[in-house]
Structure 1
Amino acid sequence: MGSSQSKGDAPPMVFVNEDNAVPVRISSAFVNQLNQAQPNAGSPQDIENQVRERVQAELAKIQAEKTAAVDTTFVDYKSSTNANANVTEQDMDHLAKHAPAKHVKVLPEEITKAQDALVQCYRKNPDRSLDCWAEVQEFRDLVQKAQNAFIATA
């Protein structure tokens, strides 16, 4: 009964997905149906001409969009540059008017000399910084003395 339907003229095509080992079978009748459903496109030369025409039209469209985008970007860049410059200038003026004045206090000469001696010692002994313990102690003592004097006057 069904034996005549399962037998075809050609053996069925079998496709196997390597990731999933489930075979997919396509009958020759299905392949024939697909072949009949395709319209006759014409000669290969006609197809090639159609493809060339479509490619040329697409290229022209892309070129027109690109030109329009460059023109728009240039106009936007000029206006945004001027606007950004104005905003930046206004921000700088505002900061200059409202920024607190920085009071720089000059360190006593003895602390500055001790600091210079400490830095010089560290530069002389980059691998042996513990050799500078005497300079560190002197600098720390002078800073502590200056802090105590400041607290006493406050």
Structure 2
Amino acid sequence: MGASQSNGQVVLRSETPVQFAPDVIEQLSERQASSTPTPERQSTLDEHIRTRIQNEVRQLRKAEEQVQEEIRSALEKENLDREKTMAGEASVNAEAGAGSVKSSAALLGDLEEIRVKIDRFQTRKSLVNYPELKASQDALISCYKSHLNSSLQCWKEVANFKASVSQLEKEYFKTLQ
């Protein structure tokens, strides 16, 4: 009796014939004809495939995060380099009298200066230091509000307000001389 293996098949040679029951032969031929695995084997294969897919997705997400971080750092470096070169050009242009491009730090300083100027303007606009002008302005506003359809009836308040402004302008011009 000899046994040899080729291509995963076992060939047995015997002098006595071997007989199998018909249901065994039928079961073996069904398994061989069917390309689908058993339900237990299929669930094991599915679980293995799901695990491999999840691992691959995790690796891809990590790689994506790394690429995004590299891009972000490269853009930051590029922006800083651009600001430095623009600031260098701005100083050269400022010396030459041309228009200038400023860095973000210089722009923040300019913005703070503008805020201070706005605050000063708002305090001047409030008319706290000029009570007679404020009173004539309030009288004019209340007259306009009470005579919405006939604003010409507020001519006295308009004249008083104009006189107050004129007086204030005269005082201001005296301080300039």
TM-score normalised by the shorter chain: which range applies? 0.3 to 0.5
Larger RCO (CA under 8 A, 6+ residues apart): 1
Larger radius of gyration: 2
